[in-house]
Homo-oligomer: A and B are copies of this chain.
Amino acid sequence: MLMTRIAEILRNGQPDTIVTIKGWVRTKREQKSFTFVEVTDGSSMNGLQAVINADLANYETEIKRLSTGASLEVTGKLVPSPGKGQRIEMQAESFTVYGESDPETYPLQKKRHSFEFLRDISHLRSRTNTLSAVFRVRNACSAAIHDFFQERGFLWVHTPILTASDCEGAGEMFTVTRFDLDNLPQQTGKVDYTQDFFGKPTYLTVSGQLEAEIMSMAFSDVYTFGPTFRAENSNTSRHLAEFWMVEPEMAFCDLKGDMDLAESFLKYVFKYVMEKCPDDMEFFNKRIDDSVLDTAENIINNEFARVTYTEAIDLLIKSNKKFEYPVEWGLDMQSEHERYLAEELFKKPTIVTNYPTEIKAFYMRLDDGEKTVSAMDVLAPKIGEIIGGSQREERLDVLERRLKEAHLDPAAYWWYLDLRRYGTVPHAGFGLGFERLVQFMTGMTNIRDVIPFPRTPLNVEF
């Protein structure tokens, strides 16, 4: 069988093998009696160099149709490459041009383009070195996540995107409707939702956690991996209106088990990506952020630091550093505090646990004394919080009280409370913003450059 994928040829292709490749021209250099064409099919950072001799029958008419971005098929013999930085190249025996790419109008010229510019041509930007590396790494991360959980017997559960409930009472939700907004049915001056598709106000989910808890009470260990939404009007390099989230949930698990899972999870994913995409990771280290390889090593080889919130506050106070937000117990840690802990003090991922009850969500388990809850945040150097999790409140009476304290209506949570009514068990889980992970891994500074088609305020093109 002919090998055709260029990644495979670059890795294992043997001299004298005849292969056919199909892809796009990355660069072309015409010489007197032949032309070098670097062909990429997106399977690897590097393309394969094809040497096309002028004595091929269609050379005269066809070679000039090839320019950056044009598509072609080349068949030829693999030969050791005399060029530097490449083990092997191809001596073309025939080639066919599929589609041209007019150099006068093709937006991707050989020069470097800004990421801002590339976002406006998101339909083409995956053809650039950087973005193609990002999306290969993104795919490897995704595959690693599924492998990690499936190997451990976790079930992937598809929690709903459309929901009538608001997981954290957080508010920032998009409304979903089948109404024609120019002709809303009204009832006593208000929109009559009973006439809408679902018969009540419906939103895009902000988290699959509550439904994952349902599934965990039947299958013990489950995880979600799907899109979630936040209608926050934040135009920052860290926010998307649509992003992917990973949320494992484990029955018979406490905060310690949750931390252990989060730590092995991150180590596994980094290791996997380093093994599958070494060239892409090298590229990021060289071109984007020269600390990404160190960071990966750091994650893979170090035990994460673990401190309670109370200890962390003490350490921040003892640091005598000047923070913009003054440090005192009860403070909702800001990025500056998180980064100090992970980057300067521990110099590695740091798990902070047992946060003040006041600043955390109603479903987190109350610790003895009730001043703190069994929550944990994993803080990563440079990124800050990358994982947030908790042991969940499994005691019916406590949960009911906590709902009321949070001014949420227990009746709306009837099914969530039922989980505590029938066969309740200690359980825990966490949430990971998938794009933050890809940012962290690649060193890309803007989150819009790690998702193929970013959705942010006023941006919904493609």
* Chain A interface residues (CB < 8 Å from chain B): 5, 7-8, 22-25, 41-43, 69-71, 73, 98-102, 105-106, 121-124, 126-127, 132, 135-136, 138-139, 142-143, 146, 150, 153, 155-164, 174-179, 181-182, 184, 190-191, 197-200, 202, 204, 211, 214-215, 217-220, 226-227, 229, 231, 233, 241-242, 244, 251-252, 394, 415-416, 418-426, 451-453, 455, 457-462
For this complex, 24 residue pairs linking A to B, each with C-beta atoms less than 8 Å apart, are A7-B153, A8-B153, A22-B251, A24-B423, A98-B425, A102-B422, A105-B421, A127-B218, A132-B219, A135-B155, A136-B155, A136-B219, A139-B155, A139-B156, A143-B150, A158-B244, A160-B452, A160-B453, A161-B227, A162-B229, A164-B461, A175-B176, A175-B177, A227-B227
B106 to A220, Cβ gap below 8 A?
no
| A457 partner residues in chain B, CB cutoff 8 A | 197-199
A180 to chain B, nearest CB (A): 8
A157 to B135, Cβ gap below 8 A?
yes
A460 to B164, Cβ gap below 8 A?
yes
| A126 partner residues in chain B, CB cutoff 8 A | 214-215, 217-219
Once A459-B198, A460-B164 are accepted as A-B contacts, the answer to whether A142 and B159 lie under 8 Å apart by CB is no
Q: How far is the CA of A105 from the CA of B106 in the complex (A)?
A: 68
A77 to chain B, nearest CB (A): 20
B98 to A424, Cβ gap below 8 A?
yes
Q: How far is the CA of A319 from the CA of B452 in the complex (A)?
A: 49
A153 to chain B, nearest CB (A): 6
Q: How far is the CA of A157 from the CA of B451 in the complex (A)?
A: 9
| A99 partner residues in chain B, CB cutoff 8 A | 394, 420, 422-425
Q: How far is the CA of A199 from the CA of B455 in the complex (A)?
A: 12
A298 to chain B, nearest CB (A): 27
- Residue among A121, A211, A420, A461 facing the most chain B CB atoms (10 A cut-off): A461
| A191 partner residues in chain B, CB cutoff 8 A | 181-182
**Chain A to chain B: the 8 pairs with minimum beta-carbon distance, closest first:** A42-B219, A99-B424, A126-B218, A123-B415, A198-B460, A71-B423, A22-B252, A101-B422
A159 to B424, Cβ gap below 8 A?
no
Q: How far is the CA of A204 from the CA of B211 in the complex (A)?
A: 21
Q: How far is the CA of A318 from the CA of B419 in the complex (A)?
A: 58
A143 to B156, Cβ gap below 8 A?
yes
- Residue among A126, A204, A241 facing the most chain B CB atoms (10 A cut-off): A126
B215 to A452, Cβ gap below 8 A?
yes
A174 to B153, Cβ gap below 8 A?
no
| A174 partner residues in chain B, CB cutoff 8 A | 176-178, 197
Q: How far is the CA of A300 from the CA of B287 in the complex (A)?
A: 48
A453 to B159, Cβ gap below 8 A?
yes
Once A98-B423, A252-B22, A460-B163 are accepted as A-B contacts, the answer to whether A153 and B220 lie under 8 Å apart by CB is no
Once A190-B182, A219-B135 are accepted as A-B contacts, the answer to whether A242 and B415 lie under 8 Å apart by CB is no
B458 to A198, Cβ gap below 8 A?
yes
Q: How far is the CA of A7 from the CA of B162 in the complex (A)?
A: 33
Q: How far is the CA of A457 from the CA of B197 in the complex (A)?
A: 5
Q: How far is the CA of A217 from the CA of B426 in the complex (A)?
A: 48
Once A124-B422, A126-B218, A178-B174 are accepted as A-B contacts, the answer to whether A227 and B158 lie under 8 Å apart by CB is yes
Q: How far is the CA of A42 from the CA of B157 in the complex (A)?
A: 13
A426 to chain B, nearest CB (A): 7
